[in-house]
């Protein structure tokens, strides 16, 4: 695949944690339910209690296990802008020994340019089955796009022990982590909320970054919808994660079957039989998710310093925050004029490394993905910049090295910086991930930027494609693009968020550009 034609970041990155909210991750805090829902919840609870009382129990079961649900788990088709791109399976069952097991499996498959990208993400979690039961262990398995690896976590004493396993690599024992806050109720907060008729609040140990996030789920007014040609009243719950910040609405029947989950207006999971769920379209995601422009951008947009103006429609107000690169002017008809700017950092503003992080250290952290403390990452960064003290000069050297040494390949993705360094292949996400890891290892605060970039592909249509690049603090913030070897990301880059920020997903398929100036 030509390296200059396909910069879009993989759409899977913002989806995994969103889908975990479907049923297998800790969550919530919820609002009071309407009286009708409370009565319905009480009836369901009484029914569930009657069933469980027929068999002797060593201890009382959690509400997550009392709530009615389909036996054998549930399958869902996963749709992006009404095109099927994957499927999802979820189940929660009682195990011997007063334990419970949650299973969540996601398969994402789409055509990315000329390649077929496929990702398998499976999580198995074991809890105490009693009310407030603790998370005891988990196994997170990832295969395909992003690389093959497995995380095995076990509660031992007063800490969480996690082992990372990769094919052909020695097992890696991560630093001991605090005991998880997540409980059995967090394994299926939607049904717990409906059973109790009130909001539920909890914490999720995210399976992709091993960070803990608060989640709030609210029982909302029921809705009538058509199912199989019949009008049915469905319960509705809405979940908001501290990580994702995108409301996720789930719709359930009175007997506990989840029929649909809406992830904003872009993504939707629909209940389907196993055979139907696994029957997927082969969707070409570039053409599906791009933002078509009314005309090409002017040449000045690629100059540095340079600028361009875009008139946008359907850009929510929360994204309209002025920065050193983007300025917003609201127009009378509800549209907004965005001025994109590109300029190198001021010579007077540049400082020597190591550089203090203006965000208190968040942009210098070594994480599960951005392995800034890994010996291989630190050694590679030092071999590139050697004794260079100027932070911006060092940042440019690292970005240029990544551009020159990584093969542009959408079939060799990796989610960990050390894996990227070892295989030296990948798309824009791998270029940005490795660059940020080496920047942090060199004492330069940095983060990955999500947004869109201007391209004209083989069909001749000028458009904005989803992309990822880098922002570094060198005395002031500046943006670099290691995928295209730009020491200053030019004005064709429109930033909307940071890596892992699923707030941007509702923009896919909704954002429009009506004029170019």
Q: What is the per-residue pLDDT across 340-394, written as a single tens digit (0 to 9) for each?
A: 999 999 999 999 999 999 999 999 999 999 999 999 999 999 999 999 999 999 9
- List pLDDT tens digits, range 270-287: 999 999 999 988 888 778
Where do runs of H (alpha helix) occur along 106-196? Answer: 189-196
Based on C-alpha coordinates, what's the Rg of the chain? Answer: 24
**CATH numbers and ranges of domains, the chain:** 16-26+61-278 (2.50.20), 299-516 (3.10.620.30)
- List pLDDT tens digits, range 54-92: 444 457 999 999 999 999 999 999 998 889 999 999 999
DSSP class of 53: H
- Residue that wins the pLDDT comparison between 62 and 425: 62
CA-closest candidate to residue 401, choices 302, 477, 487: 487
The residues with which 388 forms a beta bridge, in sequence order, are: none
Q: Tell me, what's the pLDDT at 99?
A: 97
**Is residue 25 predicted with pLDDT exceeding 50?**
no
What is the H or E stretch that residue 341 is in?
strand 336-342
Q: Tell me, what's the pLDDT at 28?
A: 29
State how far the Cα of 443 lies from the Cα of 388, in Å rounded to an integer: 12
**Is residue 506 predicted with pLDDT exceeding 80?**
no
State how far the Cα of 6 lies from the Cα of 110, in Å rounded to an integer: 14
The mean of the pLDDT values for the chain is 86
Q: Tell me, what's the pLDDT at 117?
A: 82
Concatenated DSSP letters for 274-331?
HHHHT-----BHHHHH-EE-SSPPPGGGGSSSEEEEEEEES--GGG----SSEEEEE-
Q: Tell me, what's the pLDDT at 501?
A: 65
The residues with which 445 forms a beta bridge, in sequence order, are: none
- List pLDDT tens digits, range 158-207: 999 999 999 988 999 999 999 999 999 999 999 999 999 999 999 999 98
Q: Tell me, what's the pLDDT at 160?
A: 96
- List pLDDT tens digits, range 465-480: 989 999 999 999 999 9
Q: Tell me, what's the pLDDT at 295?
A: 96
- End-to-end CA distance of the chain: give it in Å, rounded: 31
Q: Let me know if 171 is exposed, middle or buried by CB neighbors in 10 A (0-12, 13-18, 19+).
A: exposed
Q: What is the pTM of this model?
A: 0.82
């Amino acid at each position: 695949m030509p390296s200059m034609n396909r910069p879009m970041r993989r759409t899977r990155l913002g989806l995994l944690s969103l889908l975990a909210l479907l049923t297998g991750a800790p969550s919530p805090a919820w609002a009071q339910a309407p009286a009708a829902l409370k009565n319905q919840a009480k009836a369901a609870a009484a029914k569930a209690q009657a069933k469980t009382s027929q068999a002797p129990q060593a201890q009382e079961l959690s509400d997550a296990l009392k709530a009615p649900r389909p036996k054998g788990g549930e399958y869902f088709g996963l749709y992006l802008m009404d095109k099927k791109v994957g499927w999802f399976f979820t189940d929660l069952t009682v195990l011997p020994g007063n334990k419970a097991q949650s299973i969540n499996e996601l398969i994402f498959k789409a055509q990315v340019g000329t390649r077929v990208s496929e990702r398998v993400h499976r999580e198995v979690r074991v809890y105490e089955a009693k009310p407030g039961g603790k998370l005891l262990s988990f196994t997170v398995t990832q295969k395909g796009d992003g690389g093959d690896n497995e995380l095995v976590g076990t509660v031992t004493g007063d800490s969480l022990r996690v082992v990372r396993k990769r094919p052909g690599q020695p097992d890696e024992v991560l630093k001991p982590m605090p005991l998880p806050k997540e409980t059995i109720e967090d394994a299926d907060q939607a049904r717990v909320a409906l059973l109790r008729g009130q909001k539920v609040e909890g914490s999720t140990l995210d399976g992709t970054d091993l960070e803990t996030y608060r989640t709030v789920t609210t029982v909302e007014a029921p809705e009538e919808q058509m199912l199989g040609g019949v009008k049915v009243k469905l319960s509705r719950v809405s979940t908001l994660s501290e990580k994702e910040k995108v409301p996720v609405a789930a719709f359930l029947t009175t007997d506990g079957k989840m029929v649909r989950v809406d992830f904003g207006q872009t993504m939707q999971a629909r209940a389907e039989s196993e055979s139907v769920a696994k029957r997927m379209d082969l969707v070409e995601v570039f053409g599906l998710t791009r933002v078509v422009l009314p005309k090409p951008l002017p040449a000045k947009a690629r100059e540095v310093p340079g600028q361009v103006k875009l008139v946008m429609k359907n850009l929510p107000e929360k994204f309209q925050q002025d920065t050193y690169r983007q300025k917003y002017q609201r127009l009378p008809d509800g549209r907004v004029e965005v001025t994109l700017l590109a300029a190198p950092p001021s010579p007077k503003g540049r400082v020597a490394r190591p550089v203090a992080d203006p965000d208190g250290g968040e942009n210098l952290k070594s994480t599960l993905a951005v392995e800034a403390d890994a010996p291989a990452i630190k050694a590679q960064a030092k071999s590139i910049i050697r004794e260079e003290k100027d932070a911006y000069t060092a940042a440019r050297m690292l970005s240029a090295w990544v551009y020159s040494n990584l093969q542009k390949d959408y079939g060799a993705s990796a989610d960990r910086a050390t894996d990227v360094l070892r295989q030296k292949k990948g798309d824009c996400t791998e270029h940005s991930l490795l660059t940020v890891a080496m920047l942090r290892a060199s004492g330069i605060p940095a983060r990955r930027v999500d947004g869109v970039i201007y391209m004209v592909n083989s069909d001749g249509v000028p458009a904005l494609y989803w992309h990822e690049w880098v922002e570094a603090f060198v005395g002031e913030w500046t943006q670099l693009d290691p995928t295209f070897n730009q020491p200053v990301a030019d004005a064709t880059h429109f930033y909307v968020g940071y890596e892992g920020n699923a707030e941007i997903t509702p923009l896919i398929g909704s954002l429009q550009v009506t004029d170019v100036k």
